[in-house]
Amino acid sequence: MDWALVWQEWRALPGVAGEVLVSPGLLLAVLVGSVMGLIFGMLPGISAVMAMSLLVGLVFKAPVEVGLGLLIAIYVGAMASGGVTAILVNIPGTPAAAATGVDGFPMATQGRAREAIQASFSASFAGAVLGEFLTLLLLPFIAVIALKLGDWEIFLVALIGVTLAGALAGKSPLKGWLAAVFGLIIAMVGMEEIWGHPRFGYTDEMNRGFEFVPALIGLFGLSEVLQVLKQKAPYQIKGESGRIWIDFRLLYRQARNLVRSVLVAVGIGIVPGVGESAACWASYDLAKRGSKRKDSFGKGAVEGVVAAEAANSGTAGGALIPSLVFGIPGSGPTAILIAALFIYGFRPGPMLMIDEPGLVARIVVLFWLAAVGTAAGAVVLSPYFLRILSSPREILLPIAASLGVLGAWAAGFTRFDIYSMVGFGVLGFILRQRGFPLAPMVLGILVGGIADLSLRRALQTHSGDWMTMIKSPASLLLLLILFVTIGGQLRAWWTSRPKATSGN
């Protein structure tokens, strides 16, 4: 174990924190990002991923820390405020807040909207801080281990990511796997790295391959715009939040629930591609099982709100680990952070801590700062939540669509990127309509290149002998995880297969 590398990021933390705190431009960017995130997260139809994907193409002109700070703050802010919509309208502002509404909405209908929102923001704040703390502890260890991995292991990590994301990101593993394989195929388009052969190079632009940012904007942005605007139905708001504060007494009372939820969230976050949507349900379920008042869950239990919100904010930390260590995103928003890191010239992967000492500590500090900015923003904005929620979607979403066009254009300054954004938007819309999760597809697009290169290199090195895959203990362990994942999901899927329905 290279302890010097493990210590490096921990030692860098105080210095980095000091630098960040005396940088007014960065502080302003984080504050602005937090407020933007709070507003975007509250509006149904504009998720954290969508807001980040619209902006990632634009921020590349800003200094590195300002750009990253802005994106991270939007992420943290949106994660925290998605719960407000779930509580007041019973529609999650972000998919990650779905579990929050199970108890939050009944609380609002009982006239306890302020209590629910205060609990939601307090848990989000604690979840973000604790989640990032755990990340800072774990990430250097995993990064040092990752440095020892060879081509087989890298390929297996990518394959496990795609398989697990496919299995866990949606309700049906089959749909998740289809989406993931589709993403892998999209990643194959363009110049391959070993021979320089243009795959599927039907046009000059396709020789270059699909840019990641337009694909993200299309899948998460345009598809969402179409999805929301095709419905006419307005929504009803139950209750009003009034001024809220971060309730430290509640956090103390719920400490056990909180820590358990964050541990689950970080654990799930580490699994590539799965992210917040799965973590909030897993933590909610554990909180219910561990509670003495199981019957109150679903009827307005504050523990349910705390578990769900601590988990969706805590996942960000876990999701950073595969993102920074392997370049494989742990969730949708971290996929965009990876894209931003590439835009700024960083290469997320096993060498990141060696190439960019202190970057991990810097990102963790930015997350902490964003958590504070979000909490402060929530306190200031809370009396206006009702007004923000009432913002007309018919005005905001078309502007988001034209912003998406601008963001796609900014990715490479070609009209092909705009066309591919629209293409991915339509594809994303169709798949969402059929209940497909989009995160596995994004993961497939992102890891396709890594998986392709490492598999072919490993096979060539070992003269096509697949059995060499099981000769190292690490790859054997990874293979075991892969088989357990696939086997478990196939079993669950088979037992839940639909029965034939007559006459419809």
Partner 1 sequence: MEDRQNGDLLLGVAFVLFGAVVGVEALRMPYWERETFFLAPGFVPLLTGVALSLLGVVYGIRAGLAGAWQNWAGWFRDLRTNPENKRLMVLLAIVLVYTVGLVGRMGFFWATLVFHGTIFGYLRIGGWLKWLGVSIGATLFVAVLLPRLFEMPLPEIE
Q: Which residues are at the interface with partner 1 (CB under 8 A)?
A: 58-62, 174-175, 177-178, 181-182, 184-185, 188, 192, 194-195, 197, 199-200, 222, 226, 229-232, 392, 394-395, 398-399, 401-403, 405-406, 409-410, 413, 415, 418-419, 421-422, 425-426, 430, 433-435, 451-452, 455-456, 459-460, 464, 497-504
Q: Given the complex with partner 1, which of 289 and 497 has the nearer CB atom?
A: 497
Q: Given the complex with partner 1, which of 182 and 342 has the nearer CB atom?
A: 182
In one-letter notation, the amino acid at residue 264 is: V
- Residues paired with residue 190 on neighbouring β-strands, in sequence order: 199
Question: For residue 106, what are its two tokens?
Answer: 């009944």
Q: Given the complex with partner 1, which of 372 and 482 has the nearer CB atom?
A: 482
Are 124 and 310 contacting, i.e. CB atoms less than 8 angstroms apart? yes
Closest CA to 386 of 276, 238, 245: 238
**Cα–Cα distance for residue pair 219/126, rounded to 1 Å:** 31
Phi then psi for residue 98, to 5 deg, are: -60, -40
Give me the sign of the Cα torsion angle 272, 278, 284, 285: negative
**Please, what is the minimum distance in Å from the beta carbon of residue 262 to partner 1?**
35
Q: Given the complex with partner 1, which of 203 and 502 has the nearer CB atom?
A: 502
Q: Given the complex with partner 1, which of 326 and 436 has the nearer CB atom?
A: 436
Q: Given the complex with partner 1, which of 236 and 402 has the nearer CB atom?
A: 402
Q: Given the complex with partner 1, which of 82 and 190 has the nearer CB atom?
A: 190
**Cα–Cα distance for residue pair 26/32, rounded to 1 Å:** 10
**Please, what is the minimum distance in Å from the beta carbon of residue 60 to partner 1?**
8
Give me the sign of the Cα torsion angle 180, 184, 189, 190: positive
Question: For residue 205, what are its two tokens?
Answer: 């632009």
**Please, what is the minimum distance in Å from the beta carbon of residue 499 to partner 1?**
7
Q: Given the complex with partner 1, which of 298 and 412 has the nearer CB atom?
A: 412
**Cα–Cα distance for residue pair 205/53, rounded to 1 Å:** 21
**Cα–Cα distance for residue pair 291/266, rounded to 1 Å:** 21
**Please, what is the minimum distance in Å from the beta carbon of residue 438 to partner 1?**
15
CA distances to 128, 136, 163 from 412, in Å: 34, 34, 31
**Please, what is the minimum distance in Å from the beta carbon of residue 498 to partner 1?**
4
In sequence order, the 6+-apart residues with CB closer than 8 A to the CB of 418 are 214, 405, 408, 409
**Cα–Cα distance for residue pair 265/317, rounded to 1 Å:** 8
**Please, what is the minimum distance in Å from the beta carbon of residue 374 to partner 1?**
24
**Cα–Cα distance for residue pair 400/47, rounded to 1 Å:** 11
**Please, what is the minimum distance in Å from the beta carbon of residue 218 to partner 1?**
11
Are 155 and 451 contacting, i.e. CB atoms less than 8 angstroms apart? yes
Give me the sign of the Cα torsion angle 271, 268, 334, 396: positive
Q: Given the complex with partner 1, which of 201 and 358 has the nearer CB atom?
A: 201
**Please, what is the minimum distance in Å from the beta carbon of residue 179 to partner 1?**
10
Q: Given the complex with partner 1, which of 18 and 398 has the nearer CB atom?
A: 398
Q: Using the 8-state DSSP alphabet, how is residue 211 labeled?
A: -
Report helix angle 24-42 to 64-89, nearest 10. Answer: 30
In sequence order, the 6+-apart residues with CB closer than 8 A to the CB of 436 are 170, 175, 176, 178, 179
**Please, what is the minimum distance in Å from the beta carbon of residue 26 to partner 1?**
17
**Please, what is the minimum distance in Å from the beta carbon of residue 21 to partner 1?**
26
Q: Given the complex with partner 1, which of 25 and 242 has the nearer CB atom?
A: 25
- For 12-46, b where at least 16 C-beta lie within 10 A, e where not — what string? bbeebbeebeebeebeebbbbbbbbbbbbbbbbbb
**Please, what is the minimum distance in Å from the beta carbon of residue 241 to partner 1?**
27
